[in-house]
Amino acid sequence: MPVAVLALTAGAFGIGTTEFIIMGLLLQVAADMHVSTPTAGMLISGYALGVFAGAPLLTLATRTLPRKQVLLGLMVIFTLGNAACALAPSYGLLMAARVLTSLAHGAFFGVGSVVAAGLVAPERRASAIATMFAGLTMATLVGVPFGAWIGLAFGWRAVFWAVAAIGLVAILVLARFVPREAGGETAAAPIREELAVLARPQVQLALAMTVLGFAGVFAVFTYIQPTLAQITGFSVQAISAVLLVFGLGVSIGNLAGGRFADRNLALSLPATLALLMVVLLGLALAVHSQLPAVVLVGLLGAAGFATVAPLQLRVLEAAGPAGQTLASSLNIAAFNLGNALGAWAGGQAIAHGPGLASLPLVGAGLTAAGLGLALLAAHGERRARVCAA
């Protein structure tokens, strides 16, 4: 992979760390801010909704600027937002700081996906996207467990200071290695053309399958700390090691999903979503036993993030060249809308339903809906090819 793609990976690592780190700090934040666990879980939903709103708005607002400048500006927002999280004196201000931080997320991954795909040969585009998203997976492998340890040792605020420092490093790396004209930039398409892409049924289906498919992961992962502590019986200190297993699974699944999509995009989408649904159903059976739960948590990371590159490349292909940047950012927004939906659905199951042990079943139901849309999209494409012939 070109060094510029690896530089994008560094930025993705910082952003991924701040997105996922709150899962390993949920009990500490809830206790310090004097709120319930489901209320603290809304910090994930608030972040995700900020991504959902910020991705298309910032993408359109910066569409005429050089992509390297856009990426650097977004990392500055990210760094300042994490510093604000560390300083927040109340739950409301912490939520506001999380939303500020989230505004950079969607546009960074959206623009970064286009840049990464443009830096390599066409047959390696999914792998380039997966390499950039490897920063996200490294965040779950290294950033989240290490952050959970820092939170226990020095308090949760210290974690956000550490993430702000990661943001500064990412700014320097991006400035040094991403080329000025990154990804073969061309003049921006008219806004009307980019927005017209969103009316295509295949684009809408792709975005919807991202929302529902990935919601299944976050129905479980948002509340992974209390689930492992209260249902599986792990100590709070041991949960950091389990999160490391999840991160290892994420790293493997992300790269495998990218290679699978390069070889057969049409098959990779339903296959990875079906695998994720099966793993969630298995976790529902394993959550009461420690060793099986650890294995299934690792498989959840692998299966969940094996869907990322296929879903992202599917949107890029459905959008076509004219609307790729906006569609790419909107798909990142769709991932995060799925995060918010999953966190909300899980919170409802905890507060008003059968509780923590039911979360894998809630997730499996959401992913099953995404799988249904993937099969519907595949059927529509087959019919279109038959009609064209």
For the question of whether the overall pTM of this predicted structure is more than 0.85, the answer is: no
What is the model's pLDDT at position 188?
57
Residue with tokens 């795909």: 117
39: helix, strand or coil: helix
pLDDT above 80: residue 214: yes
pLDDT band at 6 (very low <50, low <70, confident <90, very high): confident
pLDDT tens digits, residue range 140-160?
777 777 888 888 888 999 999
pLDDT tens digits, residue range 100-134?
888 888 788 878 877 887 777 777 777 787 788 77
**Planar angle of CA 219, 59, 160, nearest 5 degrees:** 50
Return contacts of 53-57, CB within 8 angstroms, 24+ apart.
Answer: 53/103, 53/333, 54/102, 54/103, 54/104, 54/105, 54/106, 54/107, 54/333, 55/105, 55/106, 55/107, 55/110, 55/329, 55/330, 55/332, 55/333, 55/336, 56/106, 56/326, 56/329, 56/330, 56/333
What is the model's pLDDT at position 362?
95
pLDDT above 60: residue 182: no
The mean pLDDT of 69-80, rounded to a whole number, is 90
What letter represents residue 266's amino acid?
A: A
**Closest to 238 measured CA to CA, from 256, 247, 225:** 225
User: How many structural domains is the chain composed of?
Assistant: 1
Instruction: Name the average pLDDT for the chain.
Output: 84
Q: Which residues contact 122 (CB under 8 A, 6 or more apart)?
A: none
Domain with 119 in it: what CATH number? 1.20.1250.20
Of the ranges 33-47, 58-72, 180-194, 290-304, which one carries the lowest mean pLDDT score?
A: 180-194
Most confident stretch, 32-36, 178-182, 358-362: 358-362
Domain with 261, as residue range(s), is 3-388
What is the model's pLDDT at position 141?
75
pLDDT above 60: residue 46: yes
